[in-house]
A and B are shown apart, each in its own frame.
Chain A
Amino acid sequence: MEQINRKKAFGFLVIVTAIVFSLLLVSIPTDTLFGYIGTENVYLFMFLVAFVGSLTTFASIPYPLILFGLAASGVPPFLIGLASAMGVITADSFTFVAVKRGRVLVNDKIISAIEKLAIYIKKYPRLLNFGLILYGTVSPLSNDFAVISLSLMKYKFFRVIPFLAIGNIFYNVGIAYLGVYAYDWIANFI
């Protein structure tokens, strides 16, 4: 009993920290945040911007716009896309572990509904790999939806994150190449 209470207290702490951190990020203007990041290396800069932008669902920086601009400005698109994807994947990994820790705090009804979905997914295990790659590549939704749901379903880290990572690499490198080939067209369109 005492152990459950301790787990709940730790989970509560994780969630409160995440909310406070999220609100702090939202209230910081991008220019100030760039100052905090303070690196002159474009790849490290993109990694950190993508990391911060992906750490919470409501984070302050829409990092694909920065990636798009950097690629258009002359930075090698594959490398900058890869740096961005690494930032996103690192943030997703933190989220996955944090949700696992905070699972004890989630309402039993939600857990029960998620477990029903888990039973359905477990019928088609190979589809999950493909689904995660596809989700990471083309979904306009935040990765958090997949990461949080699968973490609550008690999926193992290496069953989820590597496949989502492949999708994220496709997505970020794709955005970077869009910056190279479509920047002027999109800038004129806007």
Chain B
Amino acid sequence: MSLVSLFIWLLVNNSNQNILFGRVTDISASTITIANRQNNLVIISIATSTRVTSRRDYVATDDITVGSFIQVTAIQGEDSMLAKSIRLMSNSGEGVQHGANQ
């Protein structure tokens, strides 16, 4: 990775923006919890402005289920992270059960 591309990337993208991947372990009306391979949990707030997509289509938050593998673009707030967008993805590899068992 060239440092130049990283620099330009930071300029174009919001510096408070996080790109996260993980398996959904819990979902409520206002938050979603995802786990990584080591079962470390991250709780992310969901707002009405949060876009949820599958492939190129918009879907409802209800389509996210426990066990789904997702990519979240989240903005870091003072206390918590707010999901700007959530993308449903597929991963049939190892580590699948780790998060889902939480």
A residues lining the B interface (CB < 8 Å):
26-31, 34-35, 38-42, 45, 53, 57-66, 69-76, 79, 140-142, 180, 183-184
Contact of A70 with B21 in the complex, beta carbons under 8 Å: yes
Report the nearest A residue to B34, measured CB to CB.
A73
Contact of A74 with B37 in the complex, beta carbons under 8 Å: yes
Contact of A79 with B8 in the complex, beta carbons under 8 Å: no
B residues lining the A interface (CB < 8 Å):
1-6, 8-9, 12-14, 17, 19-23, 36-38, 40, 53-56, 69, 71, 73, 84-85, 87-91, 93-96, 98-99
In the bound complex, how far is the Cα of B91 from the Cα of A73, in angstroms?
10
Contact of A74 with B94 in the complex, beta carbons under 8 Å: yes
Contacts of B89 in A (CB 8 A): 40-42, 45
Report B55 CB to chain A, min CB distance, Å. 5
In the bound complex, how far is the Cα of B2 from the Cα of A60, in angstroms?
11
In the bound complex, how far is the Cα of B2 from the Cα of A65, in angstroms?
12
Contact of A31 with B5 in the complex, beta carbons under 8 Å: no
Q: Which 9 A-B pairs have the closest CB atoms?
A: A74-B95, A73-B21, A38-B56, A76-B93, A142-B2, A74-B37, A31-B73, A62-B1, A73-B22
Contacts of A62 in B (CB 8 A): 1, 5-6, 9
Residue of A40, A65, A141 near B54 (CB, 8 A) is A40
Contact of A61 with B9 in the complex, beta carbons under 8 Å: yes
Contact of A40 with B88 in the complex, beta carbons under 8 Å: yes
**Known contacts A73-B37, A141-B2; is A30 also within 8 Å of B19 by CB?**
yes
In the bound complex, how far is the Cα of B51 from the Cα of A38, in angstroms?
14
Report A48 CB to chain B, min CB distance, Å. 13
Contacts of B56 in A (CB 8 A): 35, 38
In the bound complex, how far is the Cα of B42 from the Cα of A183, in angstroms?
14
Report A47 CB to chain B, min CB distance, Å. 13
Contacts of A74 in B (CB 8 A): 22-23, 36-37, 69, 91, 93-96, 98-99
Contacts of A71 in B (CB 8 A): 37
Contact of B2 with A26 in the complex, beta carbons under 8 Å: no
